[in-house]
């Protein structure tokens, strides 16, 4: 495994340069380490470098790592993958953040299943900014109404919006700008949003130039990822 401290410092340096180039404050964008498919020990090693926020795509893997790393009291778990309704309870009980809210049904389940003794669950509405049929996320036209509905749920705290643009798209900046524009629209209606979850290893500079406040980086930190078969979709 690559030297995680050097890898993390290199990513943080890229973020700092991108923020400076965009004329933004040095602390305006945070790093989320995407640890999916990597073992709990890799997360522990990355934690030792100072990283605290980690992203997982698969519910079972999240559950296993939460148990294995229970001694790391201030670790922060972000669930960033598509979430099936039959697995929402586990995420509601274990995660600090959920980035992939793409329909009201999932948000309602998370709100109902969030334990009363835990802080509100931070959530982002996922928007399909590329229009790809294979991508999760609500349409841009649906985003405002969905976000307003999610914001009204009692055990959730709507923090912002998230997107997964088309890799290598010629209009990549425009796709990120669309998410930023939707966020501006929502804030103008009175929602106190502070998060634009967009940008990954290959495109974080473009995302930061368009206003990203949180970049989700896996490969540039942990190296090439092992392939894990996605769970079969469940009809709802």
Percentage of the chain lying above the pLDDT 70 cut: 94
CA distance 226 to 192: 38
The fold adopted by the segment(s) 4-222 is TIM Barrel (3.20.20)
Distance CA 96, CA 42 (A): 20
For residue 214, what pLDDT is reported?
98
pTM: 0.93
In sequence order, the 6+-apart residues with CB closer than 8 A to the CB of 108 are 153
pLDDT digits (tens, 9 = 90+) for 4-52: 999 999 999 999 999 999 999 999 999 999 999 999 999 999 999 999 9
Q: Where are the domains of the chain?
A: 4-222
Which pLDDT belongs to residue 2?
A: 55
Asked if residue 181 has pLDDT above 70, the reply is yes
Neighbours of 141 (CB within 10 A): 9
Using pLDDT thresholds of 50, 70 and 90, give the confidence band for residue 148.
very high
Would the pLDDT of 227 be above 80? no
């Amino acid at each position: 495994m690559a030297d995680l401290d050097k890898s993390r410092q290199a990513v943080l340096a890229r973020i700092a340069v991108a923020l400076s180039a965009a004329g933004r404050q040095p602390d305006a964008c945070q790093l989320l380490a995407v640890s999916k498919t990597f073992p709990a020990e890799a997360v522990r090693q990355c934690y030792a470098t100072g990283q605290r926020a980690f992203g997982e795509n698969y519910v079972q893997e999240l559950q296993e790592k939460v148990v294995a790393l229970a001694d790391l009291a201030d670790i922060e778990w972000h669930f960033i993958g598509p979430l099936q309704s039959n697995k929402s309870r586990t995420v509601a009980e274990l995660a600090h953040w959920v980035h992939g809210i793409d329909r009201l049904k999932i948000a309602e389940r998370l709100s109902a299943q969030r334990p009363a003794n835990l802080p509100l669950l931070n959530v982002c509405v996922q928007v399909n900014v590329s229009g790809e049929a294979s991508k999760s996320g609500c349409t841009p036209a649906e985003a405002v109404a969905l976000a307003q509905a999610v914001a009204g749920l009692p055990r959730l705290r709507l923090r912002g919006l998230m997107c997964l643009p088309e890799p290598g798209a010629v209009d990549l900046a425009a796709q990120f700008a669309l998410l930023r524009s939707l966020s501006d629209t929502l804030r103008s209606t009175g929602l106190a949003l502070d998060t634009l979850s967009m940008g990954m290893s290959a495109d974080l500079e473009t995302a930061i130039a368009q206003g990203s406040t949180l970049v989700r980086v896996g490969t540039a930190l942990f190296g090439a990822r092992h392939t894990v078969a996605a769970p079969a979709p469940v009809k709802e």
